[in-house]
Structure 1
Amino acid sequence: MSRTAPRRRAERPPSRRSRAAAALRARTERIASSRAPVVGWAVLVAAGMAGLAACTLDVGPDWIGGAGAVAVATAYSWALAARTGGRPVVVGLLAVALGTVAVVSDDDSLRTGAAVLTTVVTAVLAVMSTVPAVRFVHAVREVLVAVLVAVVGAVAVVGFEPAVTLARFEYTTLGLSLLGAFAIIYRLGAGLHGLGRRGFVTVLLGSVVLAVTLAYAELLRRYGTPALMDHVLDGVGWSREHLGAFPRPLETVLGVPALAWGTHMRARRRQGWWVCAFGVAAATPIVNALVNPALTLQEAALSVGYGVVVGLLIGFVVIRLDLAVTGSSGRRGRRAEEAMALRPEPPRTRPLL
């Protein structure tokens, strides 16, 4: 008894709606892979900075400074979401809405909240915008890129005109920035099992330096003896009188060296991301520099510059010690080691995930 083969159902041609959706996705992918998003982002940041500059020079309408701060905060939020594999459109629209509400309402708590969020986004973006550095000169370049990102964010934070208690604002933004950086780097570093023994020791050492620096500053501020306080203040006063400013300790001792060493290590091992996380200890004080009303613009700029220079010197020493421990001492050995440092990462304007 013969059986007839089952009839195959004829495939339906794609509907007009599905064709339109496919064409829209293809067009979106072409735009996303082009330079248009980067150019648009740069134009938005430039427009925001122009508005903030006009507000500083008392030119234009009263709302132009707030609009500039919202523009920069939106651009930074967009960039951080795109860099970390998030949803930049959703995040950008949310940043526009929150920033606009804060500026239009003119409420101190909302303006301060917007300033806190902008500080955190700026500090994390400053770290995420870096790329691996094969040589120390490349690490210097990455530190300067992070500093530039932080400086632009600092102007935007002031544009929100926050009403802050300085110490509380600094501790809050630093804590949130560290949490944000470690949460993202947890994904980039493939979880804690990608940390390794070497990375664990490095993160532990960085945490100890951070805790000691913060605890020493707080104890000195609250419980320091008059003689000790006078001695410390004399040193700060001498630096301000003869050099024009005093470098920020957290930026100098931890943030900049961690960023230089971390980007250098990322060219060789993914554990370098965990070291870079402490780079927010440099970005956050830079963003907060203009919030302090006791500092002039010149003193804040000099303080940041001195911290970068001294921090890079410390980072250079740490990198040389690291290379010596790993067995690449000598000029020829270092050149051979640099030739092998080819751990790939996406470009600066592409998602990391």
Structure 2
Amino acid sequence: MAASRRRADPPGRRVADKPPRESAPGRAVHGLGLVAWLLIVLASAAALVAALLGYVDDRLADAGAVATATAYAWGLAARTGGRPVIFSLLALVLGGGVVALDDNALRSGAAVVTAVLTAVFAVMVTVPAVRFIGAVRETVIALLVASVGSMATLAWAPVVDLHRFEYTVLGLSLVASFLTVYRLGAGFHGLGSRGVVTVVAGSVMVALTVGYAELLQRYGTHDLVATLDDAVRWSHHHLGAFPRPIVALLGVPALTWGTHMRARRRQGWWVCAFGVALTAPVAYALVDPGRTVKEVALATTYGAVIGLVIGFLLIRLDLRLTGGSGPRGRRQAEIERTTALRPEPGRTHALW
């Protein structure tokens, strides 16, 4: 089985099978760097939470936003085999310049960059999940990373048209995610027929979930629109929020199924690319002045629960189609579950 998986992997530049061997001093430097990075992110998160609750002034919020963008730039560059020192210094200098000039247009641009950086990094920081519970863990980790980035995006205090801001962040996040996955899979060779179907289906889902409101207004009957409006109002009144369709129907299922598939096949990265449909809406959720923090948290939680159920069903269907049916298929599926582990570098190592 392992040999067949190796033969299926395309040649060229791709995800490394395992992190490069490091000497003892190299491991020590790596560990110290990781600890320093975590401390910066935790300190930034604490400052952003304090600013969000009104305990500190805007200067500390700006510092938290700059520190978060700098740390995430380092993390994404390190994870994707780039130059973390150069990109993190660039983020630090540009962030400091935005704070110093205090121009609305610059702040809005910084908010877009921070949200896109957050969305892509939250997906790239995940690792393969052999079982469903591991996929749930990776989804939660992506949510936590995106939540800190969401507070940093808000801390920039952007002055924007809300819908244009959301579409811009989501579109740029999808483009950046697919470009990164394109490098991970050594081009389109890693797609395969199943990957092509997945990408096409995911693209259709993006179009439907982004434009569902416009589609309902144009083509939905009066009774259907009224019924859906009543359901949304009921959810807000009794549950405190209504889950975002793009998170529940695409983002969470894609990240859950994708991380599970990555333990078995390279095509899992193409599924994970649609995980920005979860992390991008979380990254820009707090920018909406019409939504409270509680409403955002509840809507994200409800969407995550629904998405995890859909992801679980997709995983079961994938295993059934892969393993076949009957006693022999069940035995094959059990062997596949116990031996499935397509090697991939750890969470804190470069993917190539």
Alignment TM-score, normalising by the size of structure 1:
0.88
Cα distance, 1:342 vs structure 2: 1.8
Q: Match for residue 208 of structure 1? A: 204
Give 3-state SS (helix, strand or coil) of 1:279's partner. Answer: helix
Specify the alignment match of 1:343 in structure 2. Answer: 342
Q: Is the 8 A contact 2:323 2:333 kept in 1?
A: no
Q: Against the structure 1 CA distance between its residues 95 and 325, is the aligned structure 2 distance closer, same or farther, given a 3 Å change threshold?
A: same
1:328–1:337: 8 Å Cα contact kept in structure 2?
Answer: no
CA–CA distance in 2 between the matches of 1:100 and 1:226?
A: 51
What whole-Å deviation, never above 9, does each CA across 1:153-197 have from its counterpart, x for those lacking one?
Answer: 101111111112111011000000001000010010111112111
Aligned length: 328
Larger radius of gyration: 1
Q: Distance in 2 between matches of 1:240 and 1:333?
A: 46
In the alignment, the residues of structure 1 paired with residue 46 and residue 321 of structure 2 have an alpha-carbon distance, to the nearest angstrom, of: 48
Per-residue CA deviation, residues 320-348 of structure 1 (Å, 9 max, x unaligned), is: 11111112557644331112212100000
Cα gap change, 1:86 to 1:197, in 2 (>3 Å): same
| Alignment check: 8 A CA contact 2:81 2:350 kept | yes
The superposition leaves residues 92-141 of structure 1 with CA deviations (integer Å, 9 ceiling, x where unpaired) of: 01101111111221111100100000000100011100000101111111
The 1:32/1:248 distance shift into structure 2, 3 A limit, reads farther
Q: Assess, with a 3 A threshold, how the Cα gap between structure 1 residues 97 and 226 changes in structure 2: closer, same or farther.
A: farther
Q: More displaced, 262-271 or 334-343? A: 334-343
State the partner residue of 2:67: 71
SS in 1 for 2:323: coil
| DSSP-derived class of the 2:88 partner | helix
Residue 129 of structure 1 corresponds to 125
Task: Write the letter of the residue equivalent to 1:338.
Answer: R
1:132 partner amino acid: P
Structure 2 gap segments, 5+ residues each:
1-21
For the pair 1:318 / 2:314, whether they are aligned, the reply is: yes
Q: Which residue of 2 aligns with 1:297?
A: 293
| CA separation of 1:327 and 1:58: change in aligned 2, threshold 3 A | closer
Q: Structure 2 residue aligned with 1:114, among 110, 115, 127?
A: 110
Q: Secondary structure at the match of 2:240?
A: coil
- Is it true that 1:159 corresponds to 2:182 in the alignment? no
Q: CA deviation at 1:266?
A: 0.4
CA distance in 1, matches of 2:249, 2:189: 28
1:16-50 superposed Cα distances (whole Å, 9 cap, x missing partner) = xxxxxxxxxx99x7278531111111111122122
Q: Is the 8 A contact 1:31 1:37 kept in 2?
A: no
Is 1:138 equivalent to 2:134 in the alignment? Answer: yes
Contact 1:178/1:278, CA 8 A, preserved across alignment? yes
CA contact (8 A) 1:70 1:100 kept: yes
Could you tell me which of 153, 167, 191 is aligned with 2:187?
191
Deviations 1:277-332 (A, max 9, x none): 00000111111211111111111100000010000000000111111111255764
Contact between 1:81 and 1:87, CA under 8 Å: does it hold in 2? yes
For the 8 Å contact 1:268–1:341, the answer to whether it is kept is: yes
How far 1:54 moved relative to its partner?
Answer: 2.9
CA contact (8 A) 2:323 2:330 kept: no
Alpha-carbon distance, 1:271 to partner: 0.7
CA contact (8 A) 1:119 1:154 kept: yes
Change (3 A) 1:61 1:290: closer
2:78–2:84 Cα contact (<8 Å) kept: yes
Counterpart position of 1:181 = 177
Tell me, in whole angstroms, the C-alpha distance in 2 between the residues paired with 1:328 and 1:152. 42
Using structure 2 for the length normalisation, give the TM-score: 0.88
Structure 1 residue 144: Cα displacement: 0.6
For structure 1, the 5+ residue unaligned runs are: 1-25
Instruction: Check conservation: 2:178, 2:273, Cα contact below 8 A.
Output: yes
Q: Residue in 2 aligned with 1:37? A: 33
Q: Would you say the 8 A contact 2:150–2:285 is kept in 1?
A: yes
Match of 2:19 in 1: none
Distance 1:42 1:67 in 2: 16
What is the RMSD of the two structures over their aligned residues, measured on CA atoms? Answer: 2.1
SS at match of 1:35: helix
Partner residue, 1:273: 269
2:55 is paired with a residue of what secondary structure?
coil
Letter of the 1:252 counterpart? A
1:99 aligns with 2:95: yes
